[in-house]
Structure 1
């Protein structure tokens, strides 16, 4: 039974990996339990390791319900998931239903609307599906679906100004229903560390090499193919450099084969999924985010918090936090030559890179703490309820 003294919030998420997984955990574990009674309706298909998150959420007092949702469009699977969500919302009253990412965003908002549940409907896109590298017809379909769901949305919470601008440009919601709450990270975990040389020894990374690394799922979105091609160009001029990818995903074997084909050998390492990302970031001389599309990536903000110089793609979400010649360097998405040039410049001009890294850390400390993000989300919920009560 719902506690009338607390705001009942239901989160809905299919994409239980990467940044959206972290975002759900941050909200469920960070929103004050004395003010919010939280439920998470999640799919467990994406990442087997998400099972540990489910147990941790339940131990913290969050109700977790499983509704299996698939990433790809599937008429049969999507209809089944929609019906399960519809039944759940009819049986369980909430004050706020907050959907996350594309699939849960469409199914969850439509089911909440059709169920007659009186909850206010909030959505966080975490990048829009119509920005993906897809055929034009598929992008138009996804944009139309987002516009329809936008009409059912009381508030769209974007992770950066660029994402909000995308939503307004595509007429997803009117400006009055689009807010920005910047991605926040755990500054107690992500901070400069002085033992990078010992970590390099543990990993077998050359002490005298410059380490260029990235963190993220090894999937098309993250642009790792561009990084492999750029590495070949950089290594021709700067052979004492080692490239590192931290993360797992469907493209790993393909990228390993391409790195071998290019003769990169031990100078391009795939470290797989790791739980000690904050320690690994401290070993990097340069963090690279070569993504093709993004919301505002956690890994980039975490690298900046650790004080590592950064290079990123010139796309919404990255350019919101990486200001050229101020907090980092930008280059064209998917352009290996441009990425290589930015990497060479960052490694060569150490003074400028260090100054930009310090400025970036100051921005993160000021604007991107996890506590600030969670507090702002709580404020969004409470303002929505206050307006409805007027």
Structure 2
């Protein structure tokens, strides 16, 4: 680590700590949502004394309306856009030199690579890498680039214990790596339990983009099995994603004769309302970090059924706050769905338990406070995560 990275630079107390969050502008995953939440929290909490800036790596399919919406809400926002990674880095370097951040927080793959490279070139004194998944597209080259950035990175954050453990296995230093579980805005769900479970539609909601990570295929096959057993619940699929992942699911729905049961909503503008009006939330997936959609289903008081994968199994206690099933197993998924569809008292109790756990452990305020503590601690011990920060970030 260079002397400039290891030194404790003073911060102009009149302007506060400047924090730049760099993340994908695709709006399809949880990384962008978390970065937006952190920026908003910094704006709302005057006592923290931080000046945030959100920088989005704009994609070809980035919806302009989402950027305009954030700007209208007062979120300080800039974008970079280039055909090459070098172009992205050059544009971000220019923004860093203009904004002069005290800390750059680089979220997600592969933005955490380009963001940290830009931070080094721009002389940003403190750098944080946030990993949002337990499995990413790390080629040997990308892994080598990630490991090469370890000496200039002050802290590594996994958004769940599973992601934290993955970072350690990849070679990140344990004394600079913490787990800060994702959190959600609980406001829309505060009165969720006032909607009686038996009065909700006996429908199934899966909020998830169409991608190779998500396992819509198993859900549709499970739904076909349920139909053979005489159960025909409506399934709401909410989320964006690419055509090459959505169209095979649409074909499978037609092949199984489920067109009258499956609704493709696309990007849904009122996910809390959709969840609260139905009984069951499903997350059928191959891997996760800590899925925000799952936390929202819990907060909504849904009976949750989810795949037993890292990032999920540490949130759901099987038989208490939801039901866990083997990954890529339509028969196990159908059995669990049949259980919560036919045993309403059980499903209702699972929803109540999940709601209470979400409010106890997965609120946005708790997450943002941990990030704030981490960033503040970097000004005390900039080259490593302090013991106090590690204890807070891991919930001890």
Band of TM-score, shorter chain: 0.7 to 0.9
Confirm or deny: 8 A CA contact 2:325 2:332 kept in the other structure.
yes
Confirm or deny: 8 A CA contact 1:193 1:279 kept in the other structure.
no
Tell me by how many angstroms 1:33 deviates. 4.6
Secondary structure of 1:176's aligned partner:
helix
Q: Which residue of 2 aligns with 1:277?
A: 271
Measure, in 2, the Cα distance between the counterparts of 1:322 and 1:307. 13
- Residue 151 in structure 1 maps to residue 157 in structure 2: no
Could you tell which deviates more after superposition, 40-49 or 317-326?
40-49
Confirm or deny: 8 A CA contact 2:203 2:236 kept in the other structure.
yes
Match of 1:87 among 66, 73, 94: 94
For 1:248-287, what aligned pairs fall within 5 Å after superposition? 248-250=240-242, 251-287=245-281
Tell me by how many angstroms 1:122 deviates. 0.7
Give the unaligned 5+ runs of structure 1. 70-75, 201-206
Secondary structure of 1:307's aligned partner:
coil
Measure, in 2, the Cα distance between the counterparts of 1:21 and 1:92. 20
- Residue 9 in structure 1 maps to residue 15 in structure 2: no
Q: Which residue of 2 aligns with 1:68?
A: 81
For 1:317-328, what aligned pairs fall within 5 Å after superposition? 317-328=311-322
**Structure 2 CA distance for partners of 1:188 and 1:88, relative to 1, 3 Å:** closer
Superposition RMSD on alpha carbons, in Å? 2.6
For 1:185-224, what aligned pairs fall within 5 Å after superposition? 185-191=184-190, 192=192, 210-224=202-216
**Structure 2 CA distance for partners of 1:144 and 1:350, relative to 1, 3 Å:** farther
Measure, in 2, the Cα distance between the counterparts of 1:338 and 1:239. 15
Q: Which residue of 1 aligns with 2:366?
A: 372
Tell me by how many angstroms 1:51 deviates. 4.0
Q: Which residue of 2 aligns with 1:181?
A: 180
Q: Which residue of 2 aligns with 1:45?
A: 59
Measure, in 1, the Cα distance between the counterparts of 2:223 and 2:175. 44
Measure, in 2, the Cα distance between the counterparts of 1:228 and 1:151. 46
> 1:270-318 deviations in whole A, cap 9, x for unaligned?
1222111111101222111011121111110001001101111111111
Tell me by how many angstroms 1:357 deviates. 2.2
Measure, in 1, the Cα distance between the counterparts of 2:62 and 2:220. 28
TM-score normalised to the size of structure 2?
0.84
Measure, in 2, the Cα distance between the counterparts of 1:109 and 1:259. 43
**Structure 2 CA distance for partners of 1:78 and 1:329, relative to 1, 3 Å:** same
- Residue 245 in structure 1 maps to residue 255 in structure 2: no
Secondary structure of 1:386's aligned partner:
coil
The higher relative CO (CA closer than 8 Å, separation ≥ 6) is in 2
> 1:35-88 deviations in whole A, cap 9, x for unaligned?
11111221232554354345534652x53222115xxxxxx6112112222333
**Structure 2 CA distance for partners of 1:353 and 1:46, relative to 1, 3 Å:** farther
**Structure 2 CA distance for partners of 1:3 and 1:124, relative to 1, 3 Å:** same
Tell me by how many angstroms 1:246 deviates. 1.2
- Residue 24 in structure 1 maps to residue 35 in structure 2: yes
Q: How many residue pairs get matched?
A: 365
Measure, in 2, the Cα distance between the counterparts of 1:277 and 1:55. 17
Could you tell which deviates more after superposition, 78-87 or 144-153?
144-153
Q: Which residue of 2 aligns with 1:385?
A: 379
For 1:305-316, what aligned pairs fall within 5 Å after superposition? 305-316=299-310
Confirm or deny: 8 A CA contact 2:103 2:124 kept in the other structure.
no
> 1:327-383 deviations in whole A, cap 9, x for unaligned?
111122222222222222232333333322222222111111111111111111101
**Structure 2 CA distance for partners of 1:326 and 1:115, relative to 1, 3 Å:** same
Confirm or deny: 8 A CA contact 1:196 1:283 kept in the other structure.
no
**Structure 2 CA distance for partners of 1:355 and 1:320, relative to 1, 3 Å:** same
Tell me by how many angstroms 1:166 deviates. 1.0
TM-score normalised to the size of structure 1?
0.85
Measure, in 1, the Cα distance between the counterparts of 2:335 and 2:173. 40
